[in-house]
Each structure stands twice: as C-alpha cells, then as structure tokens.
C-alpha cells in the first residue's frame, strides 16, 4: 500500500480565529476514504486557533502563542478524535521538532511508531512541538516538517492542502492574470529565494516554504502535490480517481 502524507495549513482549518468545523469535517471524511486506499499520515496545523476556543489570550507574544498552542493542541486532537471515531478510525498524536530528524536514532524510533500506527489503521496526526520549537510559532511552517515526515517516514508523496489551489507563475493576489502551473519538474534558485511572505495573520509560511518543501522532495526523488484545502475536489480526483485536474504536481 502506498503511503501519503497530507499536510493541512492553519488557514484551511480556521475561520477567523476559530476552528472551522465544516472544513475539519470535510477533511476527516476525505481522510477516511483515503485510508481505504493508502497508508495516511496527517500533518496538521491549527493548534493556536483551537486554543482560541478555550482561553481568551491574545496571540501577541511568543509565550502567549505557546499557551494557545499547548491548550489548543489537546483540543484539536479531541476534535479529530471525535470525528474520526464515526468512521471507526482511532487517531494518535505525534509531536516532533526539527531536532528529531537530526538524530538517526530519534528518527528511527518515530518511524517505527508511524509504521506501527499505519499497520494498525490508526491515523498518525503530527504537529511541531511548539513548547520547544519556538521558531515554528514565530515564523513557522509545517511545510518543512511535512516534507521531512514524507522523506524520513517513507511517504510516497506529500499532499499540501492549502488556501491556494496550486503554484502560480506569479503571485495571484497581485496579478489577476497569473496562471497555475500544473506540473513542475524542478525549481529554480530564484523561486526558492522569493521573500517568505505569510498569507495573512494566521499563515506563517507562504508559498516559499511550500516550494522549499517541494525542492527537498524533488531532490530526494519524491513528489509533492499542492492543491486547495477549501475545496477538496482536486484532491479527491487526484488521489482517489487517479485523475489530475487542478493543483500543481511537483514531480521530476
């Protein structure tokens, strides 16, 4: 069975400051279908927004964001767990930091766990450990985490469900004529050096972190699919019907 890593960004999971039940519900129904065909690993952001449901604390300092994330991580897992149980699927939380991929021993331990969870049809839900990964909150992105997850945990492909439906030849916010690039076999140095630009208050990565993730995977002979997390139809067609309609496939 092929193994896919699905990364979902905070934009997709949140509506204003709160978790969007509708989108999390749609995501879970998609994941349940995917798990019939693939081994699935989810990399999920959204802990800070989830924290906003529980405590009234502003996101205006690192420690406040840590508080929101640590309160919210537990709540986010509760939301996933409550929905996935309807599909008879259990979920497991794994919190990682970049350091875990620097150590061969730590990576091997984590991979054994992921392998075991997949074998038992339990959905691993991975997030960065915000208690010690301060950079992630300040300018963090689960894009690079998810690329590491796909590579080190033997994923066949990384699928990024974003607020944008693909990679455009120019910034679609500023250029109405920008066109989506359906297939990207390699990335140029200039593309990887674009200024990292957070899409909004919640997004912390922007397109550059996604391109860097794609570049890392391309260099390691793996592929990445960037598609909309708001409307999952392109993700459904690509992963479940084997038809690529929208989205950008980064593949050599």
Q: Measured between alpha carbons, how far is 14 from 158 in angstroms, rounded to an integer?
A: 21
CB of 234 to ligand ADP, least distance (A): 14
Site string for ligand ADP, 11-40 (x = CB under 6 A): xx----------------------------
The smaller minimum CB distance to ligand ADP, of residues 103 and 173, is found at 173
Does the protein bind ligand ADP through residue 9 (CB under 6 A)? yes
Long-range contacts of 91-95 (CB under 8 A, 24+ apart): 91/122, 91/123, 91/124, 91/125, 92/117, 92/122, 92/123, 92/124, 92/125, 93/125, 93/127, 94/124, 94/125, 94/126, 94/127, 95/126, 95/127, 95/128, 95/129
CB of 215 to ligand ADP, least distance (A): 14
CB 203 within 8 Å of CB 9: yes
Does the protein bind ligand ADP through residue 158 (CB under 6 A)? no
Stretch of residues binding ligand ADP (CB under 6 A), selected from 34-42, 98-106, 116-124, 166-174:
166-174
CB of 172 to ligand ADP, least distance (A): 6
Rounded to 5°, angle at Cα 96 from 5 and 165: 35
Does the protein bind ligand ADP through residue 172 (CB under 6 A)? yes
Q: Binders of ligand ADP among 182-211, rule CB under 6 A?
A: 198-199, 203, 205-207
Instruction: Output the 3-class SS for 139-180.
Output: HCCHHHHHHHHHHHCCCCEEEEEECCCCCECCCCCCCCCCCE
CB of 205 to ligand ADP, least distance (A): 4
Beta strands in the chain (DSSP E): 3-8, 14-15, 18-19, 39-44, 91-96, 123-128, 157-162, 183-184, 223-228, 248-250
Q: Is 103 annotated as a binding residue?
A: no
Stretch of residues binding ligand ADP (CB under 6 A), selected from 3-11, 65-73, 85-93, 120-128:
3-11
Helix (H) or strand (E) holding 69: helix 62-84
The smaller minimum CB distance to ligand ADP, of residues 32 and 178, is found at 178
Does the protein bind ligand ADP through residue 232 (CB under 6 A)? no
The residue ranges that bind ligand ADP (CB under 6 A) are 9-12, 162-164, 167-168, 170-173, 198-199, 203, 205-207
Q: Which residues are annotated as a binding site?
A: 7, 45, 130, 142, 162-163, 204-210
Q: Which residues are annotated as a binding site for ATP?
A: 7, 162-163, 204-210
């Amino acid at each position: 069975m092929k193994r896919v890593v699905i990364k979902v960004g905070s934009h997709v999971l949140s509506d204003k400051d709160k978790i969007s039940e509708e989108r999390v519900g749609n995501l879970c129904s998609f994941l349940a279908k995917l798990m019939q065909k693939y081994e699935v690993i989810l990399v999920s952001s959204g802990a800070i927004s989830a924290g906003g449901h529980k405590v009234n604390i502003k996101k205006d300092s690192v420690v406040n964001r840590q508080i929101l994330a640590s309160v919210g991580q537990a709540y986010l897992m509760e939301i996933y767990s409550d929905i996935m149980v309807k599909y008879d699927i259990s979920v497991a939380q794994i919190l990682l930091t970049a350091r875990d991929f620097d150590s061969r021993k730590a990576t091997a331990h984590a991979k054994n766990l992921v392998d075991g969870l997949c074998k038992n049809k339990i959905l691993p839900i991975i997030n960065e450990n915000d208690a010690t990964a301060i950079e992630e909150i300040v300018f963090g992105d689960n894009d690079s985490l998810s690329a590491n997850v796909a590579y080190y945990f033997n994923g066949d492909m990384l699928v990024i469900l974003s607020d944008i439906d693909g990679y455009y030849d120019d910034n679609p916010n500023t250029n109405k004529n920008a066109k989506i690039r359906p297939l990207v076999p390699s990335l140029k140095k200039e593309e990887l050096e674009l200024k990292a630009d957070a899409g909004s208050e919640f997004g912390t990565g922007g397109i550059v972190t996604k391109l860097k993730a794609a570049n890392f995977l391309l260099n390691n002979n793996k592929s990445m699919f960037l598609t909309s997390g708001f409307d999952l139809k392109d993700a459904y067609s690509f992963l479940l019907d084997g038809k690529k309609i929208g989205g950008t496939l980064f593949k050599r």
